[in-house]
């Protein structure tokens, strides 16, 4: 039994044929941009989803988005597919780890049967009126006004001391403050008395009447935070932008009534063996698992095994440091993916196709072994498990490997190796050579020495308790540790104390479909000027955002058709054929190419075409960070997180004197790309910068000049420095998990 794909042509796939065994764990790998996602997500998963939806009734299909047919000749052997990606779980503030895994529902059932005094299961739910805390309505938090964020203390009200745009100088609410005659408008806010400040920020509504000659005006004055609270509580709701503007002047604190437990006093008063359900929800999952396992009795025996099994899955997935009360909106992408995976492992469905996107992201080497066991459990149900992955240890444990390449973009899209790990290891693909150890990432022989230190004293946040950390300057530093050990918390404190630090993360570089690779690095203006010079026209003619744009699609290259119940549909513009430009612009050529042809060039090809021009210098940085396969006109909103991060890196390569923080820059990178990344990080340091990397990948860690290793475990059992120093010193630290794996890497 197998899944047969014949003639796959999505994106850069070269009409490939591939056979994927069912009921096996298959890893699809290859360098960045080689076509992995095109094969797994855009071909196999999309077609499986489309065929499944086509089998539903026409009424059901009307409620679902329309999926276009995939560019493939034929696919056989498909079954319903579930994708477990790194997109975050729902941002609903009511969703917690306990609710999305349904473990909290089992706890409510347990307390309704064994708790004293007795309540129904619904009365422990913070999403029902009978169970929710009356003060916070079951959210567990409340907003408290933050005067330091709202006020510019050195300014007077007349100078614009209130930062919120609703109270800007000359606005209606600013005029109300002035007309109230309660304040000296020219006195700096820092000189206000406590009573004046309280009046400005927290005054209840006071009605006024202005009886000046000529008109009568009635108005009312209330404190800034009072008015903002009223607006936020309005059930009609403000726009997302207005709400975001209001919320940023508040701090989030635990509810003063329920202490963050979300449930009311009646539900909190019920105990089981001396503990309330709120106590259990705030325990770390691994501690909760140990505690629940001790409960005995006929009723407990019917519920406890299900709870323990689900908790055990979360522990095996490396998130045992979380609690059931943890809001899903605060989880990282990797944590969200593992929670989704836990939900599927708790299901009894079989013969499905599970598609996972880099499940090892955010996992320490210690936890990857646990994850591999979990994926095998999913396979053994039985199911077919397809994983897009670069981790070598997971590849070695797979049943089957498909290696795409040999290069990226137009240079990829072919199957370069396929078979068992042993068979791929014997081949000549780049992946095979790394698997058998023929290719390795070398260790930097010269460790650099710090030029100074950032001295962080009394670092206390989440599980960090009064740490003293010295971050060396002028070197490459790695912050390491198992999941939940406090790495992100340490970086958060660092950024608060040193706000000028530059963060290069994997957030999108732009959501506007008009932004592209060439515009981001500042090359497109020069390309337009050069093209205009060659053909004797104005540069503005070659902008798809103004004069030269196709009149039909306004320079987008496609039309968006509102299909109502079927969702929006994008259709290539018939006028310009998706090229964005008006016909009179497309008729102008230079070296046999029009401006649209140049935008279709890859960065690598463009560097050759503009070899004697300053344009090449701006594009060369992209090839250095491994993005030579991108097209000049590729929209920024189509880039992956890893590509977005490297694009930001490319823009910074020639700028010295900064402190950079990168969070897991190896995400989405093949080992061959990681070697290039290490070179880039070294280049940044050698140019006079300080680079701080939060990372799990041993090939990056072994090349650091300094390591700060946190742990020893995650959550409350972490938050301590277990080792720091050069890699060779950390490798000898007996209490460091990182050190144990680093010994092998060195």
pLDDT in tens, 178-234: 988 899 999 999 999 999 999 999 999 888 776 665 554 678 889 999 999 888 877
Nearest to 518 by CA among 510, 508, 527, 509: 527
Pair 387, 410: CB distance under 8 Å:
no
316-354 pLDDT, tens digit per residue, is 888 999 999 999 988 877 788 889 888 888 788 899 999
At 236 the pLDDT is 62
Asked if 457 contacts 686 with a C-beta cutoff of 8 angstroms, the reply is no
Tell me which residue of 490, 517, 487 sits closest to 664, measured CA to CA: 487
pLDDT, residue 230, reads 87
Residue 483: what pLDDT?
A: 84
**Exposed/middle/buried for residue 480 (C-beta within 10 Å: 0-12, 13-18, 19+):** buried
Asked whether the beta carbons of 46 and 71 are under 8 A apart, the reply is no
pLDDT for the residue 565: 43
CA 4/CA 76 separation, integer angstroms: 5
Scanning the structure block, which residue is given the tokens 């939940």?
A: 484
So what's the pLDDT on residue 166?
92
Instruction: Tell me the C-alpha distance between 449 and 589, whole Å.
Output: 54
Cβ atoms of residues 625 and 648 within 8 Å: no
Structural domains for the chain: 2-88+336-435 (3.40.50.300), 97-140+255-316 (1.20.1580.10), 143-254 (1.10.8.280), 452-509+658-745 (3.40.50.300), 517-638 (1.20.1580.10)
Helix (H) or strand (E) holding 721: strand 720-725
DSSP per residue over 209-252, as a string? Answer: EE--TT--EEEEE--HHHHHHHHHH-TT---HHHHHHHHTTEEE
Query: Across all residues in the chain, what is the average pLDDT?
Result: 90
What is the model's pLDDT at position 568?
55
pLDDT of residue 567: 44
Give pLDDT < 50 ranges for the chain.
Answer: 216, 564-567
Q: In this predicted structure, what is the pLDDT of residue 566?
A: 42
Which residue from 165, 275, 269, 170 is spatially nearest to 224, judged by alpha carbons?
Answer: 165
Rounded distance between C-alpha atoms, residue 324 and residue 103, angstroms: 8
Contacts of 685 (CB under 8 A, 6+ apart): 448, 474, 475, 476, 691, 705
């Amino acid at each position: 039994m197998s899944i047969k794909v014949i003639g796959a042509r999505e994106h850069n796939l070269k009409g490939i044929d591939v056979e994927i065994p069912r009921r096996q764990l298959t890893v699809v790998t290859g360098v960045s941009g080689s076509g992995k996602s095109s094969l797994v997500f855009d071909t196999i998963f999309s077609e499986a989803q489309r065929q499944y939806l086509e089998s539903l009734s026409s009424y059901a299909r009307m409620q679902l988005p329309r999926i276009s047919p995939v560019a493939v000749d034929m696919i056989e052997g498909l079954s319903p597919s579930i994708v477990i990606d790194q997109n975050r779980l729902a941002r609903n503030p009511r969703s917690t780890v306990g609710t999305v895994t349904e473990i909290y529902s089992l706890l409510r059932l347990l307390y309704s049967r064994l708790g004293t005094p007795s309540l129904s299961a619904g009365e422990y739910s913070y999403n029902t009126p009978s169970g929710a805390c009356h003060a916070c309505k079951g959210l567990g938090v409340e907003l408290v006004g933050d005067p330091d964020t709202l006020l510019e203390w050195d300014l007077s009200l007349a100078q614009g001391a209130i930062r919120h745009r609703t109270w800007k100088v000359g606005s209606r609410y600013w005029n109300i403050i002035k007309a109230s005659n309660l304040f000296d408008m020219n006195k700096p806010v820092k000189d206000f008395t406590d009573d004046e400040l309280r009046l400005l920020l927290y005054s209840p509504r006071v009605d006024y009447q202005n009886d000046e000659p000529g008109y009568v005006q009635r108005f009312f004055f209330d404190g800034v935070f009072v008015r903002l609270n009223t607006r936020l509580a309005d059930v009609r709701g403000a726009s997302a932008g207005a709400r975001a503007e209001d919320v940023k002047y508040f701090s989030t604190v635990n509810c003063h009534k329920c202490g963050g437990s979300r449930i009311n006093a009646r539900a909190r008063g019920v105990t089981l063996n001396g503990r309330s359900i709120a106590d259990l929800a705030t325990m770390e999952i691994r501690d909760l698992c140990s505690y629940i396992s001790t409960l005995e009795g006929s009723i407990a025996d019917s519920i406890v095994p299900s709870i323990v099994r689900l908790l055990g899955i979360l522990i095996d997935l490396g998130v045992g440091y979380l609690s059931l009360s943890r809001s899903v909106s605060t989880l990282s992408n990797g944590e969200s993916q593992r929670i989704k995976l836990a939900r599927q492992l708790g299901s009894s469905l079989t013969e499905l196709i599970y598609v996972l996107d880099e499940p090892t992201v955010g996992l320490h080497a210690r936890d990857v072994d646990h994850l591999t066991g979990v994926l095998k459990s999913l396979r053994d149900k039985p199911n077919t498990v397809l994983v897009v992955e670069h981790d070598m240890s997971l590849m070695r444990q797979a049943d089957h490997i498909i290696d795409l390449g040999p290069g990226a973009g137009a240079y990829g899209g072919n199957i370069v190796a396929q078979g068992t790990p042993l068979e791929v290891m014997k081949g000549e693909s780049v992946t095979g050579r790394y698997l058998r150890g023929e290719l390795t990432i070398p260790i930097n022989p010269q460790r650099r020495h710090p030029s100074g230190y950032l001295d962080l004293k009394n670092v206390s946040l989440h599980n960090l308790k009064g740490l003293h950390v010295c971050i060396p300057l002028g070197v490459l530093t790695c912050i390491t540790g198992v999941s939940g050990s406090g790495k992100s918390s340490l970086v958060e404190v660092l950024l608060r104390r040193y706000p000028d630090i530059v963060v290069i993360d994997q957030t999108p570089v732009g959501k506007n479909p008009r932004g592209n690779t060439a515009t981001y690095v500042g090359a497109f203006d020069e390309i337009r000027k050069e093209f205009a010079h060659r053909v004797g026209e104005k540069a503005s003619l070659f902008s798809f955002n103004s004069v030269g744009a196709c009149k039909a699609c306004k320079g987008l290259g496609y039309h968006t058709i509102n299909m109502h119940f079927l969702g929006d549909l994008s259709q290539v513009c018939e006028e310009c054929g998706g090229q964005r430009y008006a016909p009179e612009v497309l008729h102008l050529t230079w070296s046999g190419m029009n401006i649209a042809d140049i935008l279709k060039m890859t960065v690598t090809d463009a560097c050759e075409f503009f070899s004697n021009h300053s344009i090449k210098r701006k594009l060369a940085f992209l090839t250095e960070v491994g993005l030579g396969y991108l097209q000049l006109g590729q929209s920024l909103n189509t880039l992956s997180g890893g590509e977005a991060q490297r694009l930001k890196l490319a823009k910074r390569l020639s700028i010295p004197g900064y402190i950079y923080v990168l969070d897991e820059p190896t995400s989405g990178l093949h080992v061959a790309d990681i070697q290039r990344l290490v070179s880039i990080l070294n280049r940044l340091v050698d140019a006079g910068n300080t680079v701080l990397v939060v990372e799990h990948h041993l090939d990056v860690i072994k090349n650091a000049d300094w390591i700060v290793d946190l742990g020893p475990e995650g959550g409350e059992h972490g938050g301590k420095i277990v080792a720091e120093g050069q890699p060779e010193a950390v490798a000898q630290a007996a209490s460091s998990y990182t050190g144990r794996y680093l010994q092998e890497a060195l």
